[in-house]
Structure 1
Amino acid sequence: MTRTSVGRFVSEEARTKYLAAYDRAMDLWPDPRRELDVETAYGTVRVHHYGSRTGEPIVLLHGHAGHASNWYPQIAALGEHHPVYAIDTLDDPGRSVQRVVAVGSEENAAWLGEVFAALGLERIHLAGLSYGGWLALNQAIHAPERLASVAALDPGGIEKVPARFYAHMIGGLLGLLAPRPLRARLGRLLANPALSSPPEMIAPLMLGMRSYKPNTRPAARPFTDEELSSIKLPALVLLGSRSALVRPRQVLERVSALIPGVRAEIVQRAGHGLNLEQPDLVNAHLLRFLAAHGQ
């Protein structure tokens, strides 16, 4: 669920190299983009902001070992009528700096709530992918006060992480060693969008895996039936039909049975990274959901 110790780069040289790659990856976002640093009891949180000066805010949470650039296909579409904020998770490599481990569900909701309060955000539409989806649902369960809705994309925490997910990760890493002309084909075969993503986005991921320790995080704790049933916000759950993390039909059935009024759908021809594999379709789902539940 969270790293058991504060994450650090193995050296200052490794940190400098990673952050240079990170900054190049953030150039995938449209301009103008603002960078904000928010102090919390758990560390300094980097937030990237883009979009309209009016409308209800959208906050985006990336997946394990990722960073804010992973949302680049969504930013222009979501930011046309909403201010968009993307957060660097505290215990992942990035420009957030962790000082204290957030232990358990309540503390993870606490640091995120501190960020929202410092930014002065209310009626937030919170969306997360994978581990970010776990964080989003966790916020809806434990600290929903500032939220207007929650969207979870192929989230952790709905069922136990299967062994095939770890095999999928290893296959993706091996695929990145293949000649570049073959990567797109392997990406389609493995339902792994990283293999055909811009190299600027992949570079910090690879550097972080080599130079940020500890470089693993325990699997997200599955939510209980009672926790999922306690979500009273409008909720959207999107699942990749070829996901390596979840069994989409089983997860669809569970969230539909437990989360009141949830809109749950399977995105066809998409794996775990559905926002990168089917960006136009995911953007359309998100925008329809926001239009239905905004003021």
Structure 2
Amino acid sequence: MTLNSYKLLLILSLITITSCTSKYDKFKETPEYLVNASGANKAYFNAYNETLKLWQIDFEELYIPTSFGTAHVIVSGLNNSQPVVLLHGMKASSTMWYPNIEALSKNHKVFAIDFILEPGKSNLENNIEAIENVMAWYNEIFKALELEKFHLIGASRGGWLAVNLALNNQEQIKSLILLSPAQTFSWIKPSTDLLKNIVTLFSSKEKQLIQMLKSMSSNPANIDSAYINQYKLGSQQESNNKFITSMTPFSKNELKSLQMPVLVLIGDNDVINSPKTVEIANTLPNGKGEIINNAGHFLSIDQAEIINQKMLEFLD
């Protein structure tokens, strides 16, 4: 082999090694709290992994160190494509996106983040004392992932967090999709379903779960049993979320200050939102609100195909 041929072979080898190395490789090692989990935690993590089998696409799990603990992020989709960040609903974890992740990943790089204060694979290590700390935690994740500009999708409580982030990151967030955002545009009004949920707090955990699914979904039978089992185990764990009372609706001036395109979707049987949510969304500078038929609060599962289509059309 000539010297020039050897140099060429060496250069090609270096290019191959570099292309096979992901900038996220340093975040791929599974942390000890997952490896050595036991008891209820182990059962929950196993159930979480069972739900992940529903994704049916390639993904990788990242564990990002932050000032407040480890952030678990599931990454899927195309490299060098527009990034999309997903914020799940209360106690739902990132696995709630199982009916939507394949569609979102076709033309985008998707990052689903487990909220550190609730059941999931993120792990709280230092106290979070204020909602400002939550925003700082998310921003640490965005920096670690090198996300300079991205689309943001939030469901339920994740929708409220998404708006909070958007108000403080106008230049970073390209667009905002809110799926039945909780306590974001208006207060949750009392209803028969909410009253039933309160009454069943004095019943067994099983009855509480059944009633919750009935009130939140227009078709609970459509929710995969693997996810229901994970949600059930997660609901039995203690929550570190101290900020439920901080979730108050944003003012009209705050909402109208959002300059990025905003899409708001709610179900016609949504126990959390009313048509007022859509009315307010349509008054935003670049806002659009719509009611989805035959859908409850869990509209991303109840009407997954329609929701996926509308999200992709909006992102494109």
Q: What TM-score bracket applies, with the shorter chain setting the length?
A: 0.7 to 0.9
Give 1:133-148 correspondences, 5 Å limit: 133-148=159-174
2:142 counterpart of 1:129: no
Q: Provide, for residues 181-235 of structure 1, a one-character-per-residue CA deviation record: whole Å limited to 9, x for no partner.
A: xx8xx96787345453111101121112113245886252211222212211111
Partner residue, 1:25: 51
| 1:221 alignment partner, one of 238, 241, 248 | 248
* Secondary structure in 2 matching 1:211: coil
| 1:149 alignment partner, one of 175, 180, 185 | 175
| 2:188 alignment partner, one of 139, 161, 169 | 161
> Is the alpha carbon distance of 1:18 and 1:171 closer, same or farther for their aligned partners in structure 2, counting shifts above 3 Å?
farther
Quote how far apart the aligned CAs of 1:55 are: 1.6
How far apart, in 2, do the equivalents of 1:109 and 1:287 lie? 26
How far apart, in 1, do the equivalents of 2:92 and 2:131 lie? 20
> Is the alpha carbon distance of 1:154 and 1:172 closer, same or farther for their aligned partners in structure 2, counting shifts above 3 Å?
farther
Give 1:9-48 correspondences, 5 Å limit: 12-48=38-74
| 2:80 alignment partner, one of 31, 51, 54 | 54
Quote how far apart the aligned CAs of 1:142 are: 1.6
The number of aligned residues is 273
% identity of equivalent residues: 32
* Secondary structure in 2 matching 1:117: helix
Contact 1:172–1:195 under 8 Å retained in 2: no
Contact 1:240–1:271 under 8 Å retained in 2: yes
2:141 counterpart of 1:108: no
| Structure whose alpha-carbon radius of gyration is higher | 2
Partner residue, 2:258: 231
2:212 counterpart of 1:203: no
2:247 counterpart of 1:255: no
How far apart, in 2, do the equivalents of 1:20 and 1:147 lie? 34
The CA RMSD over aligned residues, in Å, is 2.7
* Secondary structure in 2 matching 1:44: strand
* Length-normalised TM-score, structure 1: 0.83
* Secondary structure in 2 matching 1:243: coil
How far apart, in 2, do the equivalents of 1:39 and 1:46 lie? 9
> Is the alpha carbon distance of 1:132 and 1:187 closer, same or farther for their aligned partners in structure 2, counting shifts above 3 Å?
closer
Contact 1:194–1:202 under 8 Å retained in 2: no
Quote how far apart the aligned CAs of 1:85 are: 1.1
* Length-normalised TM-score, structure 2: 0.78
Partner residue, 1:3: none
Is there any run of 5+ residues in structure 1 with no aligned partner, and where? 1-10
> Is the alpha carbon distance of 1:92 and 1:125 closer, same or farther for their aligned partners in structure 2, counting shifts above 3 Å?
same
Compare 85-94 and 138-147 and name the one that shifted more.
138-147
Is there any run of 5+ residues in structure 2 with no aligned partner, and where? 1-36
How far apart, in 1, do the equivalents of 2:233 and 2:214 lie? 24
How far apart, in 2, do the equivalents of 1:244 and 1:19 lie? 29
